[in-house]
Amino acid sequence: ALLTFNRPEALNAVDAAVLDDLERALARLEAEGEARVVVLTGAGRAFVGGGDIAHMAVLAPDEGERFVHRGQALLRRLERLPKVTVAGLVLEAEAWLVNFCADDRVEGLRAFLEKRRPAYRGRLAPRRQES
């Protein structure tokens, strides 16, 4: 199966419509047993540009949190899919999501100002529990 992120005008940045499309595609892949391999690709010159900042900027805080959690849940579904999954530049595609769910949300800005890549705790890192 070939899944193409198709927002080349926005460098395939993820917004609610992209999550809707991904959710439908995953449901089809989970229901159908034919495909043994899933190839993720991006239309145009980018794989996935990360989260669509313009989309996220207009979300209320609770909507933004739901958006991020929904994206995380879809990534976990993709991980659990019993098919070989091939994607390009996945670290960059997921980095935005990990940064937004990390406790230290300023790391992305700090890294940008220090001209280095952000340091992430790991893929889909859970929030620390408050003591």
pLDDT at 124 over 50: no
* Domain assignment of residue 73, yes or no: yes
* Domain assignment of residue 49, yes or no: yes
* Domain assignment of residue 120, yes or no: no
Q: What is the CATH number of the domain that holds 75?
A: 3.90.226.10
Handedness of CA 33, 34, 36, 37 (dihedral sign): negative
What pTM value is reported for the model?
0.66
* Domain assignment of residue 75, yes or no: yes
Q: Where would I find the H helices in 32-129?
A: 53-57, 61-80, 90-101, 107-113
Q: Residue written as tokens 């449901």?
A: 27
* Domain assignment of residue 36, yes or no: yes
Give the residues across from 85 on adjacent strands. 38
Q: Total structural domains in the chain?
A: 1
Question: Higher-confidence residue: 19 or 119?
Answer: 19
* Domain assignment of residue 127, yes or no: no
How far, in Å, CA of 124 to CA of 47, rounded? 19
pLDDT band of residue 107 (cuts 50, 70, 90) is low
* Domain assignment of residue 17, yes or no: yes
Range of the domain at 35: 2-113
pLDDT digits (tens, 9 = 90+) for 51-91: 899 999 999 988 988 999 999 899 888 888 887 777 654 44
* Domain assignment of residue 119, yes or no: no
pLDDT at 7 over 80: yes
